[in-house]
Structure 1
Amino acid sequence: MRQWILLGGILGGLSVMLGAFGAHSLKAVLTEKSLATFHTATQYQFFHSLALVLVGLLAHQLGEGHNSKVIKAGWFFLAGIVLFSGSLYWLALGGPRVLGPVTPLGGLSFMTGWFLLAFSIPKK
């Protein structure tokens, strides 16, 4: 479960770095719309990095055999970060629009992760 906390911490730190990079270095280069898109990507990456830390803590708390939904939620959060935030970074930086349709798949991954997490706690 340590790997989820480690991954969440690394991706959270990267989101702060990317946010600072966007706010300071890209401000003179990108349009307002592209900057807003970049900012959205960093926000969602940060929120879901925290969710990955939560996945690690909950999986540890629940123990083996009761944490499969939590682990699946982690994979969906990770996929959402890659697909949603990754495609928004790509689009904001002027990448080909072909990745535009990938963004909603990332959003769907985020939603799936949250629903799995919501139903991951066993009934007593």
Structure 2
Amino acid sequence: MRDREMKTITIFGAVLGLTSVIMGAASDHLFFGFITEENSERLDVALRYHQLYAILIFCLGICGLHTQHLLVLKRAGYIFCAGTVLFCTSLYISLFPGLDKATYLTPLGGITLMFGWILSFLTIKRSL
């Protein structure tokens, strides 16, 4: 059970990493010239968080295979996954004409990511 769930988080991190590279390439090659300056800033933020949290979630999954504090770490991993999807996807969706209201979900994703950091902090604090 322990290995399967942490492997799932690790795989999710790897998939996020892959999709961040795909989105980065698409933004440079497919969307070039079609995106407004405001949308370009949104895209840059989404890509930055997408790539950062792909690495974090991947590493968290690997660390989860070798820790005693699995439950809290597993919860933090799932929360980071949900927060990353909410935050980045809402920004990506907002790039399409008429869908800019999707950014209303972005703060919810950000708050979810903050909660993941709090759980990570508590995990480290307990282990000291």
**Same fold, TM-score > 0.5, yes or no:** yes
Q: Distance in 1 between matches of 2:94 and 2:75?
A: 28
More helix as a share of residues: 2
2:88 maps to 85
Pair 1:14-2:19 in alignment: yes
Pair 1:45-2:50 in alignment: yes
Q: Distance in 1 between matches of 2:78 and 2:98?
A: 26
| Structure 1 SS opposite 2:127 | coil
**Structure 2: where are the runs of 5+ without partners?**
1-5
1:119 maps to 122
**Structure 1: where are the runs of 5+ without partners?**
none
The runs of 4+ residues in structure 1 deviating greater than 4 Å are none
2:10 maps to 5
Q: Distance in 1 between matches of 2:116 and 2:97?
A: 29
| Structure 1 SS opposite 2:12 | helix
Pair 1:75-2:75 in alignment: no
Q: Give the TM-score normalised by the residue count of structure 1.
A: 0.89
Deviation at 1:95, TM superposition (A): 4.5
Q: Distance in 1 between matches of 2:115 and 2:70?
A: 16
- Residues 112 and 42 (structure 1 numbering): CA distance in 2 closer, same or farther, change over 3 Å? same
Aligned residue pair count: 122
Q: Distance in 2 between matches of 1:62 and 1:95?
A: 46
- For residues 63-95 of structure 1, the C-alpha deviation after alignment (integer angstroms, 9 at most, x for no partner) is 4xx211111111111111111100000112234
